[in-house]
Chain A
Amino acid sequence: MAFGSRTGSEGSRLRLKIEFVMPALAAGSHRLSSHSHPGIAYREYLITSHAVVRASVPLMEAAFARAQCMARDDPVSARLVSYLPEHIVEETDHDSWLLEDLESIAVDRCTVLDRPPSPRVAALVGAQYYWIHHYHPAALLGYMAVLEGTPPLLTAVEQMIERTGFDRRAFRTLIEHADIDKHHADEVFGVIDDLELTTEQSTLLGLSAMHTVVAIAAVIDEVVDRCHPGPIGPGRVVS
């Protein structure tokens, strides 16, 4: 056993790190998929997903801009500069898909856009802005590895369609991502494997990825906790 050394590819090490903390996400995910009010839970999940997804392209643009500034003396940043523009195009408008999914179940887009995002959403996304601006833009690869590497399972989506009774149009984003995220995950881990990271940068990717799992788990817990049928109020949903 090679104690203390960095054996295997960077991507395989990162996959293991993500797996170490994945139980945090599994518990909330089960609560969500088995919620006693599936329609309410799914609607809330989409609204919260929109709050996160609308930050995807701006986050990548921020990482790209920072990487451009560092690329001349930093090969890791140079690789980000060549990779991110293509992925920005691939992720563009996915937030609009979610608004359309919500409209198909009678949730007006103004309702979604007017709701202040929760501190947990801000913690999930905001950590990436911090690492990008104050340490290294490669941090975003840890975030992307988790998001792209944990695609929706089609069987779970089909069960949710049946449980909610919603039209399939409300599940377009989930269904599309079940397919495309597999491809995107291969791309992200391929880029990570290409990089010659320093020990510190490798640690940064691990921290970013594992923090992302823990922060998503907190967001999912919040989604589930909000879904009690009752009077409408700030951040509260009704049947």
Chain B
Amino acid sequence: MSVESEGRGDTQRALDRLADLLLFPERFTEDPRAALEEYGLAGAIPDEVASVLSGMSPDELRLIAQVRRRQGLVKIEPEFGIIF
């Protein structure tokens, strides 16, 4: 299932742009609203997503940034699932 088919492409693209910012999460946790504006992302991310992101710890945000910078926008769900 592709991101586009889910209609969530814009959010996912915004998250990818946000990855550069989240790599230095202290800037984001200090003032999420100002940080989003600084990166031109104010309004680009749904409130629900921005709210969860702004409540996360620097370590959580760093994990997201690492994945997003490495993988970019591919697909949001694995095709094969997990049996573990």
Contact A210 B63 (CB under 8 A): yes
Query: Which of A27, A146, A173, A214 is B63 in contact with, Cβ under 8 Å?
Result: A214
Contact B67 A24 (CB under 8 A): yes
In the complex, A26 Cα to B32 Cα: how many Å?
28
- Check A156 for interface membership: any CB of B closer than 8 A: yes
Given known pairs A1-B47, A16-B48, A17-B60, the reply for A147 and B68 (CB within 8 Å) is no
In the complex, A118 Cα to B81 Cα: how many Å?
21
In the complex, A108 Cα to B29 Cα: how many Å?
52
Contact B82 A151 (CB under 8 A): yes
Q: Is the interface of B mostly helix, strand, loop or mixed?
A: helix
Contact B51 A29 (CB under 8 A): no
- Which of A3, A178, A210, A211 lies at the interface centre, i.e. has the most chain B CB atoms within 10 A of its CB? A3
Contact size range, A: 35 or more
Q: 0/1 per residue, B24-43, Cβ < 8 Å to A?
A: 00000100110000000000
What chain A residues lie within 8 Å of B70 (beta carbons)? 24
Given known pairs A24-B70, A150-B78, the reply for A203 and B64 (CB within 8 Å) is no
What chain A residues lie within 8 Å of B84 (beta carbons)? 49, 52-53, 56, 147, 216
Query: Which of B67, B76, B80 is A152 in contact with, Cβ under 8 Å?
Result: B80
Query: Which of B51, B64, B68, B73 is A3 in contact with, Cβ under 8 Å?
Result: B51
Contact B82 A150 (CB under 8 A): yes
Contact A3 B32 (CB under 8 A): yes
- Check B56 for interface membership: any CB of A closer than 8 A: yes
Contact B64 A30 (CB under 8 A): no
Query: Which of B55, B67, B79 is A4 in contact with, Cβ under 8 Å?
Result: B55
- Check A61 for interface membership: any CB of B closer than 8 A: no
- Check A5 for interface membership: any CB of B closer than 8 A: yes
Contact A207 B82 (CB under 8 A): no
What chain B residues lie within 8 Å of A17 (beta carbons)? 52, 56, 60, 64
In the complex, A214 Cα to B64 Cα: how many Å?
10
User: Can you offer 26 A-B residue contacts whose CB atoms are under 8 A?
Assistant: A1-B50, A3-B33, A5-B55, A8-B48, A20-B68, A21-B67, A22-B77, A23-B74, A26-B74, A26-B78, A27-B74, A27-B75, A28-B78, A49-B83, A49-B84, A56-B84, A98-B83, A150-B78, A150-B81, A174-B81, A174-B83, A203-B60, A206-B57, A207-B57, A210-B64, A210-B67
In the complex, A24 Cα to B69 Cα: how many Å?
10
Chain A: minimal CB distance from B18 (Å):
10
- Check A25 for interface membership: any CB of B closer than 8 A: yes
Contact B56 A203 (CB under 8 A): yes
Contact B60 A30 (CB under 8 A): no
Chain A: minimal CB distance from B59 (Å):
6
Chain B: minimal CB distance from A158 (Å):
12
In the complex, A156 Cα to B66 Cα: how many Å?
28
- Check A33 for interface membership: any CB of B closer than 8 A: yes
In the complex, A5 Cα to B55 Cα: how many Å?
6
